[in-house]
Structure 1
Amino acid sequence: MSSSTRASSDRWRSFAADTLALIVFFTATGILNERFIAGMTWEQVLDARLLGAGLMVVSGRPYGLWRDWIMRFSGPRRGSRIAWDALALVSFQVPIYAAILAISGADSDALLRGSLGVTVIMLALGRPYGAFLNLVRRRFGLPDGGDKPMSLNVQDP
């Protein structure tokens, strides 16, 4: 396989891995937050999850690149990786999530509760999601992210 073909294949696998990881991991947490913390109706939850899935297809790979870039600041210690993974997730996903809630019909109170709730959830899930993302990437035959700034995770031939 030529290096150009391999690079193209790796980009598609990176897109698929990052997108799949985001959809799988955050659909369940979104449902729990929207229904039981934000107090949205099941119809609003369905609308939010459908909109969220569409946005996750568009934002999965950009988030993966964002996380890789942010993680270059982390040190080798576990606490550093936890903090930087949490920062990456909160800084990228909370604004998108707030927009999903607003578009899905959440009133201002539900928008505030949902956004605060998801911030807490994402602070707690930043590192577990980062580890899950790396696991999915490995399953797709890709290296873990976060080692090189804005890495496309393209392996050398």
Structure 2
Amino acid sequence: MRRYFADTVAQIVFSTIVGAFVEIVVAGLTPWQSMGVRLAAIPVILFVGRPYGIYRDWLFAVTAGNSNQLKAAAVDTVANISFQIPIYCVLLAINGATIPQIVSASGSIVVISALSGRPYGLYLVWCRKLFGVSDTPS
């Protein structure tokens, strides 16, 4: 249960900060639209926060990804992009973003995800330690 909370809290905090920045500054959503997306994301994250952690752990296990920092960064980046983008597009659509806004935000979030994949992975490891769970799958 602590692993669920660690993974979920990490994803809520990190995605709120990064997502709101991209939505407002890059994609041109209004603050109200962004707030709607961020609020809609919380229940989704409650459902997918831990599965993302499991998916990330699995990618590390099958690639032996933590053997060096470059490989770990690549695994975190692939995990972040491949898991988050489809969910993000649905949230944008549900909250009234237009197709051009979805394309812009998604294109931007791919870049942001590539840049933030490893920082998020490190943040997730830190949150797991904060919650008293190891970073190895259980």
Q: Where in structure 1 do 4 or more consecutive aligned residues deviate above 3 Å?
A: none
- Determine if the alignment matches structure 1 residue 26 to structure 2 residue 15: yes
Instruction: State percent identity of aligned pairs.
Output: 38
Please state how far the C-alpha of 1:75 moved relative to its aligned partner. Answer: 5.2
Instruction: Write 1 or 2 for the structure with the bigger share of helix.
Output: 2
Q: TM-score, normalised by structure 1?
A: 0.84
With the length of structure 2 as denominator, give the TM-score of the two structures.
Answer: 0.95
- The one of 111, 129, 133 equivalent to 2:102 is 111
1:100 aligns with 2:99: no
Where structure 1 has 5 or more consecutive residues not aligned to the other structure, the ranges are 1-11, 146-150
> RMSD across aligned C-alpha pairs, in angstroms?
1.0
Give the paired residue count: 136
| 2:67 counterpart SS class | coil
Shift of 1:103: 0.8
Unaligned runs of 5+ in 2: none
- Residue of structure 1 in register with 2:124 after alignment: 133
Match of 1:55 among 14, 31, 44: 44
Question: Counterparts of 1:33 and 1:58 in 2: how far apart (Å)?
Answer: 23
- 2:76 pairs, out of 64, 67, 85, with 85
- Rg: which structure is higher? 1
User: Aligned-pair distance for 1:131?
Assistant: 0.7
Matches within 5 A, 1:1-20: 12-20=1-9
